[in-house]
Structure 1
Amino acid sequence: MMTILSTAALLLSSLALSTAAWSADGAAKTVVLVHGAFADGTSWQKVIPRLEKAGLKVIAVQNSLDSLENDVIATKRAIKNAEGPVVLVGHSWAGVVITEAGTDPKVKSLVYVAACAPDKGQSLEDVTSKYPQLESRKEYMKDDDGFLRISDQGIKKYFAADLDPESKAVVAATQGPFHVRCLSAKVSEAAWREKPTFMVVATKDQIIPPQLEKDQAKAANAKAIEIPSSHVAMLSHAEEVSDLIIQAAK
């Protein structure tokens, strides 16, 4: 009986140590995922189960994509409601959002996934204007209210080029219109200058120049990985993206 009890106690002790691993040394407990332009929270559908399996809680923000201010408010609300510490992850346009929102003291680290990371006082336009304009821009369409979307053909050929046809159709159907005012909105903070930063460079990205992503990683002194991916690296290479987020959490 004593042997059985001792074995059970040992197993419980091991389980407790495993469960406490995320809280040791300030390790993160929650990942807040922020989607980019022309997307919504479903863009993280392949990453979320992997993070939860690793023992992390996950919150996927739903951005309005109508202004930097509103997307930062939505992201800060998610951070406020999350159990900290938090890893803040942004894709594409959301790199601008997490650059501003990531100074929150609950945020332990930042992960940029094929994203822009402007410096203080810079906008998305400021960052991208230094690089040659990509061919995908011809597929951008603007409505009478100033919202941009990418044509279905543009999604298939440029935005999500390495997904299967069914997945491309879902991305096209669920894309979130992106207001042009976001392009010139400047960040007042640069969280990557203060927090440990990780970056996914998508080397086959046709929405954000891969060289821009590489240059940002160098400027931020980030732990970076390069993936032969389209712009939607979290869908086409979910395992590698998830592994980097888990590393950032630890």
Structure 2
Amino acid sequence: MSRNLGLILGALVAFASISPAAVAADLKAKTVVLVHGAFADGSSWQKVIPLLERAGLKVVAVQNPLESLESDVAFTKRAIRDAEEPIVLVGHSWGGVVVTEAGNDPKVKSLVYVAAYAPDAGQSLVDAASKYPDQESRKTFLKDEDGYLKISDEGISKYFAAGLSPEEQRVVAVVQGRFHVRATTAPVSHAAWRDKPSFMVVATEDQIIAPQMQRDQVKSAKAEMIEVPSGHVAMLSHPKEVAELIVEAAR
């Protein structure tokens, strides 16, 4: 179910004017577990983390190896195991596939997708994306002899981290993790969004995941949704809006 961004911004936490104690008293979730996407690491949440903590939430940013769906889910589930429940599980990009699988854990009470893939049961990332035209950005993905992918510096600045400053784009390029191609074809066993409340950030200027795909996933999951005029890394370009939707999920 879509929601006007202006209403959300008005109804949610005004971080600058409401005390953390007052915010925390209204929360049902205790912890937010953040799952980064491909070509990234936990630092991709650096602007969102302090906003969530100020709202009274505990935060864990997972550092996934990007080797396979199985290994990323295992790393994420260890973070879930050690975190205080109830948990809001958040995924960006490839991390959406991970939280779709790992989110079946009973400690997870809601899901947030930030410019992310949300495949259905039996679908892989490749399956979910197959009915949409290939993005021009795919031409900047480079595969080495061991099957690991990276994005060229040009691809980072032009597509992946579009909308960030040149300095921020450079950091994204430097810290990017190699992503093994095997992960893209691993199917999800059960889609957690079918059973749990879901919230989605649609990045309307995304050049990695088609915005139309993101909107179609909102309909499939019957998710609460906001749209932001952002490229792929919405949590870096629009951290306040992303944090506010996560806080709503925590309520």
TM-score (norm 2): 0.91
CA–CA distance in 2 between the matches of 1:221 and 1:195?
A: 10
Written as runs of structure 1 = structure 2, the 5 A alignment for 1:11-22 is 20-22=25-27
Alpha-carbon distance, 1:16 to partner: 8.0
- Is 1:189–2:197 an aligned residue pair? no
Letter in 1 for 2:98: V
**Alignment match, 1:210:** 211
In the alignment, what sits opposite 1:5?
none
1:21, distance to aligned residue in structure 2 (A): 3.5
Residue 59 of structure 2: aligned partner:
58
Counterpart mapping for 1:112-127 below 5 A: 112-127=113-128
- SS of residue matched to 2:213: helix
CA 1:152 to 1:17, structure 2 compared with 1: closer, same or farther past 3 Å? closer
Q: Which entry has the higher C-alpha Rg, 1 or 2? A: 1
In the aligned structure 1, how far is the partner of 2:238 from the partner of 2:123? 29
The residue number in structure 2 matching 1:69 is 70
User: For the residues of structure 1 that align with 2:90 and 2:138, how far apart are their CA atoms?
Assistant: 25
**CA distance in 2 between partners of 1:84 and 1:129 (Å):** 36
Q: Does 1:173 align with 2:178?
A: no
Q: Is the alpha carbon distance of 1:208 and 1:17 closer, same or farther for their aligned partners in structure 2, counting shifts above 3 Å?
A: closer
Q: Secondary structure at the match of 1:240?
A: helix
User: Following the alignment from structure 1 to structure 2, what is the Cα–Cα distance between the partners of residues 150 and 19?
Assistant: 39
Contact 2:67/2:179 (8 A) holds in 1 = yes
CA contact (8 A) 2:90 2:111 kept: yes
CA shift in 2, pair 1:33/1:19, >3 Å: closer
Distance 2:239 2:25 in 1: 26
Contact 2:160 2:231 in 1 (8 A): yes
Aligned equivalents of 1:17, 1:51: Cα separation in 2:
14
* Partner AA of 1:137 in structure 2: R
Structure 2 distance, partners of 1:204, 1:198, is: 19
Query: Relative to total residues, which structure has the larger helix share, 1 or 2?
Result: 1
**Superposition deviation, residue 19 in structure 1:** 5.0
Alignment map for 1:127-206 (pairs within 5 Å): 127-206=128-207
Residue 94 of structure 2 corresponds to residue 93 of structure 1: yes
Distance 1:146 1:122 in 2: 21
- Supply the distance in 1 between the matched residues of 2:100 and 2:219 (Cα, whole angstroms): 16
Percent identity over paired residues: 69
C-alpha deviation, 1:232, in angstroms: 0.0
What do residues 18-54 of structure 1 show as CA deviations (whole Å, max 9, x unaligned)? Answer: 65443xxxx1000000000000000000000000000
Number of aligned residue pairs: give it. 233
| 3-state SS, counterpart of residue 219 of structure 2 | helix
Compared CA separation, residues 151 and 28, structure 1 to 2 (3 A): same
In structure 1, list runs of 5 or more residues that go unmatched.
Answer: 1-14
Aligned-residue offset at 1:238? 0.3
Distance 1:118 1:38 in 2: 19
Q: Aligned partners of 1:199 and 1:153: how far apart in 2?
A: 28
Amino acid at match of 1:217: V
State the TM-score, normalized to the length of structure 1: 0.91
Measured in 1, the distance between the counterparts of 2:224 and 2:218 equals 7
How far, CA to CA, are the matches of 2:24 and 2:224 in structure 1?
26
> In the TM superposition, what whole-angstrom CA distance separates every residue of 1:52-91 from its partner, at most 9, and x where no partner exists?
0000000000000000000000000000100000000000
Q: Which residue of 2 aligns with 1:234?
A: 235
Contact 2:36 2:95 in 1 (8 A): yes
Which whole-Å deviations, capped at 9, do the CAs of 1:92-130 have from their partners, x for residues lacking one? 001000000001111010000000000000000001111
How far residue 189 of structure 1 moved from its aligned partner, in angstroms, is 1.0
Aligned-pair CA distance for 1:144: 1.0
1:28-67, aligned counterparts within 5 Å?
28-67=29-68
Please give the per-residue CA displacement for 1:188-216, whole angstroms capped at 9, x wherever unaligned: 01000000000000000000000000000
